[in-house]
A and B are shown apart, each in its own frame.
Chain A
Amino acid sequence: MPADPNEHTTPSSRTAKYWRKESHVNVAHAARMAEPPAEPDADRAAPRRLGIIFWVAIGWILLVTTAAIVAPLLPIADPEQIGIGPRASGPTWDQWFGTDGNGRDMFSRTIWGARVSLMVGFFSIVAGFLVGGTMGIVSGYRRGWIDLVLGFVTYVMLSFPLLVLFLLVILLFGQGLWIVTGALSIVVIPSVARLARAITIVFAEREFVAAARLLGATNRRVMVREILPNVLIPMSALLLLGLGLTIVAEGGLAYLGLSVADGFSWGKMIQMGAGLRTLQTAPWVAFFPIGAMFLTVLSLNLAGDRLRQYFDIRELGIGSR
Chain B
Amino acid sequence: MTYLMRRLAFMFGVLVAVTFLAFSATNVIGDPLFNVVGFYASVDCDAVIAGEIEDVVGTIAGTGIGECERVIEAREKYHLDDSLPVRYGRWIVGMAQGDFGDSYANQMPVSTILAERLPKSVLLMGVSMVVALGVSIPWSVAAAYRANQPFDRASVAAGFGLLAIPGFALAIILFYFFIVRWQIFPSRFMDDNLFSRLHSLVLPAASLGLPLAAVYQRLLRTDLITTLQEDFVITAKAKGLSDRRIMFRHVLRPSMFGMITVVGLNMSALIGGTIIIEQIFSIPGFGRELYVSAIRDDITVVLAGVTVLATAFVVINTIVDLLYSYLDPRVRRAG
Instruction: Tell me the A residues contacting B by CB distance below 8 Å.
Output: 1-3, 5-6, 8-12, 15-16, 25-28, 30-38, 40, 152, 155-156, 158-164, 167-168, 171-172, 244, 248, 251-252, 255-256, 270, 273-274, 276, 279-280, 283, 286-287, 290, 293-295, 297-298, 301-302, 305, 315, 317, 319-321
- Segment at the interface with A among B39-47, B123-131, B196-204, B303-311: B303-311
Nearest B residue to A253, CB-CB: B276
Residue interface bits B178-212, CB-to-A below 8 A is 1, else 0: 00100000010000000000000000000000000
Identify whether the interface residues of A are mostly helix, strand, loop, or mixed: helix
The listed residue with most B CB atoms (<10 A of its CB), out of A3, A6, A286, A290, is: A3
Cross-chain contact A6 with B258 (CB below 8 angstroms): yes
CA distance in complex: A5, B260 (Å): 9
Interface residues on B, range: 35 or more
CB-CB under 8 A from A244, the residues of chain B are 164
Residues of A within 8 A of B251 (CB): 27
Contact A301 B266 (CB under 8 A): no
Whether A152 contacts B17 by the Cβ 8 Å rule is yes
B17 — which chain A residues lie within 8 A by C-beta?
152, 156
A-B contact pairs, 26 of them (CB 8 A): A2-B321, A3-B328, A5-B258, A31-B229, A152-B13, A152-B17, A161-B272, A161-B290, A162-B269, A164-B22, A167-B295, A168-B26, A172-B25, A244-B164, A251-B169, A252-B166, A256-B291, A270-B169, A286-B172, A286-B176, A293-B169, A295-B164, A298-B164, A302-B160, A317-B262, A321-B269
Cα(A25)–Cα(B149), bound, Å: 10
In the complex formed, the residue of B with least CB distance to A273 is B172
Contact B275 A163 (CB under 8 A): yes
**Is the CB–CB distance between A27 and B313 below 8 Å?**
no
Query: Shortest CB–CB separation between residue A150 and chain B, in angstroms?
Result: 13
Q: Are A274 and B228 in contact (CB under 8 A)?
A: no
Closest residue on chain A to residue B334 by CB atoms: A3
Chain B residues, CB < 8 A from A12: 229
Do A172 and B28 touch (CB < 8 A)? yes
CB pair A11–B226 under 8 Å, yes or no, is yes
A contact residues around B264 at 8 Å (CB): 2
Compute how far the CA of A209 lies from the CA of B12 in the bound complex, rounded to whole angstroms: 37
Is A276 within 8 A of B180, CB to CB?
A: yes
- Measured CB to CB, the nearest residue on chain A to B159 is A301
Nearest-CB residue, chain B, relative to A291? B169
CB distance from B10 to the nearest CB of A (A): 7
Say yes or no for B93: interface residue by CB 8 A criterion.
no
Residues of the A chain whose Cβ atoms lie less than 8 Å from the Cβ of B132: none
Q: Which of B13, B265, B287 contacts A158 (CB 8 A)?
A: B265
List B contacts of A33 (CB < 8 A).
147-148
